[in-house]
Amino acid sequence: MVIKFLMLFLLLWRSVASQKHDIAGFTYNGFQGVSMILDGLAQITDNGLLMLVNSTIQQVLLQAIILGLINMTNIGKSSNHVFAIELDCIQKQEFNDIDGNHVGIDINDLISIESAPASYFNREENKYVNLSLNNEQPMQLWVEYNGAEKQLNVTLAPINVPKPKIPLLSSKIDLSKIILEPMFVGFSSATKLLPSSYYVLGWSFKMNGEARELTISQLPKLPHQKRHRRKPRRLFLVSFSVITATLVVLILIFCIIQFIVKTKKKFTELLEDWELDYGPHIFKYKDLYIATKGFKDKELLGSGGFGSVYRGVLPTSKTSCSEASLSQF
């Protein structure tokens, strides 16, 4: 399955006599009313956007003035006569992709002969500035080929930025063996399993000479999709936070219970055999003090290895006695 997002300038040989078009040059600021051959699920929206991929239906689709692309049976063959500039949002090891956000030059194959991370040269900063191909921000792509010098230049920039003086990709390529007559020029797109939508806002093409600049103010507007995309993400973040907090509380409660149980077990007093029958005889110091009249000597019965023994009138849970032996430690 083709998983590349291939965009302007895609050339494919196809001899269809009934579909000949004079493509010496044209400029489309939007595609409303434009006569184009649409294939697969591609369509022109009501406001003139050329929609390549429907975000709700994940299928490989082709968009033309071109028909067809590369499949697994003809990939890499010189008979394909395919020249394409790819804007790729997915990194695939089998195609030697440098990352999941790059621009590449493809000839008869999905393995790019040259590629670079998506970016544009900023003259003020005097450096290349990264661009995200998947951030829902419109951008412009210039593809220029000089047949005499066999020079191909590919330039990318945000839609509101003038064409940079330094291209993103510049390569010496002889396209005379690739481009035949007749040829088809257009767009092709494919997605993986992630929901996505790709749109073309405008297109300016010139066979001999420089194509006219697009009129930015006349281009159709992209649909607002950020709100819909953020809802599931926000719901996920909220749910994840609640679940995480709940787990932390449960773990904390469990640890506290374990600590209490271990502490209670640690300090549980070992009972003598006679205490198992009659219950533990543990008295408060206040009760002992009162029973022995303040531990007075006249209440002292004697002393032994375990301390002094006093006489008292302490009741117990099992019996009452007027006299009991108390041990003071």
Low-confidence ranges of the chain (pLDDT < 50): 1-22, 57-64, 67-68, 227-228, 316-329
* 28 and 152 housed in the same domain: yes
Q: Could you tell me if residue 83 is inside a domain?
A: yes
- In a 3-state reduction of DSSP, which class is residue 262? helix
By residue range, what is the domain housing residue 211?
A: 6-220
DSSP codes joined into one string, 171-189 = EE--GGGT--SSEEEE-EE
* 156 and 297 housed in the same domain: no
pTM, two decimals, is 0.61
Q: Could you tell me if residue 1 is inside a domain?
A: no
* 264 and 291 housed in the same domain: no
What is the per-residue pLDDT across 28-87, written as a single tens digit (0 to 9) for each?
A: 999 998 888 887 778 899 999 988 876 554 443 333 355 346 777 888 888 888 899 999
- In a 3-state reduction of DSSP, which class is residue 144? strand
- Which of 220, 236, 256 is a domain's end point? 220
Residue 141: burial class (beta carbons within 10 Å; 0-12, 13-18, 19+): middle
In SS3 terms, 193-211 reads as: CCCCCEEECCEEEECCCCC
Which two three-digit tokens encode residue 39? 């294939």
Domain count, the chain: 3
* 193 and 254 housed in the same domain: no
Cβ pair 310, 299 in contact under 8 A: yes
- Residue 7 has a pLDDT of 39
CA dist., res. 319 & res. 324, Å (int): 11
* 39 and 185 housed in the same domain: yes
Q: Could you tell me if residue 90 is inside a domain?
A: yes
- Residue 281 has a pLDDT of 58
* 103 and 231 housed in the same domain: no
Which two three-digit tokens encode residue 172? 């010496």
CA dist., res. 326 & res. 314, Å (int): 10
- Say which residues have a Cβ less than 8 Å from residue 209's Cβ, sequence separation at least 6: 25
- Say which residues have a Cβ less than 8 Å from residue 78's Cβ, sequence separation at least 6: 108, 177
CA dist., res. 252 & res. 246, Å (int): 10
- Runs of H (alpha helix) within the chain: 226-267, 273-278, 285-291
Q: Which amino acid is at 142?
A: W
Bond into 257 cis (ω within 30) = no
CA dist., res. 294 & res. 109, Å (int): 103
CA dist., res. 71 & res. 96, Å (int): 17
Q: Could you tell me if residue 298 is inside a domain?
A: yes
Q: Could you tell me if residue 106 is inside a domain?
A: yes
* 228 and 83 housed in the same domain: no
| Residue 80: count of CB within 10 angstroms of its CB | 19
